[in-house]
Structure 1
């Protein structure tokens, strides 16, 4: 059977385009290991509160002077419920959940991530304006979801006192009736 030259060109063109799509998808998925950021670090949700990567919860400063906030979402509470950080400094938040999926949102800022059982989510943000910021759960997590709130206090850099090793953050939460 004789195929016209234009049909042959179109068939080969389509075959080449499909091959390029397939190869680029395979390279992105398998060759470069592109995955969601939370895929990188896993954690056992049953031991999230005591795992060395997430304990103690709260604000800490590493050897390089970087500020970290470790937060665990539990049934209708954030641990810790309150944290104080310096203004004008990049702050890295590390989040996980011990029970169900929670959404960690620092209201009025670009700070937001999902706290998913089994994964440690991470984001870095900087607060230029001192003040108090509401931390809300923006993912429905059960009947007490509306009570799941916290507070982030941003103080001027010169007023901030970094926590010392002896000042491990408290694991205080508010009791939720129900």
Structure 2
């Protein structure tokens, strides 16, 4: 009986060490120290971008205690790809009532894909404790009809306050 417990503990410890070497989402690394300065996550690239194939890519940075940008607008019934990274600590990214739920780990790019079937608003909380201001870390995804989305510029797609 004791031998079985020891074996189970050894297996548990070994799998925890091996598991920490591999992030849960796609394995794409990024330099957290310079992500604001160059590359995909510079400020001018954040928010919603329309891709040539008609899909949408949303780029966000999670940081204590905010998602940047705090609100994004996406079209309904269109493939949406969220690409996120963190410049400080581990954060969670969750869109309730969807298939979107991932960890945002510094040094890695998290990528999740979804399609919103109808217009509506989604609250986007950080669901991984990230410090004393964690409870205030949330953002917003606004899903609008395609024709409304197509008529918006970049500024309208990254600020729900303008609409």
TM range (shorter): 0.7 to 0.9
User: So what's the TM-score if we normalise by structure 1?
Assistant: 0.69
- What's the secondary structure of 1:45's corresponding residue? coil
Q: Matches of 2:157 and 2:38 in 1, distance apart? A: 15
Q: Counterparts of 2:98 and 2:39 in 1: how far apart (Å)?
A: 28
Count of residues paired in the alignment: 136
**Partners of 2:78 and 2:103 in 1: CA distance:** 22
Shift of 1:36: 5.0
Quote the Cα distance in structure 1 between the aligned partners of 2:66 and 2:23.
26
Equivalent residue number for residue 40 of structure 1: 27
Q: 1:99 to 1:169 in 2, by over 3 A?
A: farther
1:78-110 Cα distance to aligned partner (Å, 9 max, x none): 001000000000100001000000001112211
Over the aligned positions, Cα root-mean-square deviation in angstroms equals: 2.2
In structure 1, the residue matched to 2:115 is 126
Structure 1 residue 98 corresponds to structure 2 residue 87: yes
Listed one character per residue, the Cα deviations across residues 21-52 of structure 1 (whole Å, up to 9, x for unaligned) are: xxxxxxxxxxxxxx656453100111222332
How high is the TM-score relative to the length of structure 2?
0.75
Helix, strand or coil for the counterpart of 2:33? helix
What's the secondary structure of 1:129's corresponding residue?
A: coil
Which structure: larger Rg?
Answer: 1
1:50 counterpart (32, 37, 41): 37
Q: 2:90 & 2:54 partners in 1: Cα distance? A: 31
3-state SS of the aligned residue for 2:147?
helix
For residues 50 and 37 of structure 1, do their structure 2 counterparts lie closer, same or farther at Cα, with a shift above 3 Å needed?
farther
TM-fit CA distance, 1:170: 5.9
SS in 2 for 1:100: coil
Cα gap change, 1:67/1:79 in structure 2, threshold over 3 Å: closer, same or farther? same
What's the offset of the Cα at 1:57?
1.0
Asked if 2 retains the 8 angstrom alpha-carbon contact of 1:71 and 1:78, the reply is yes
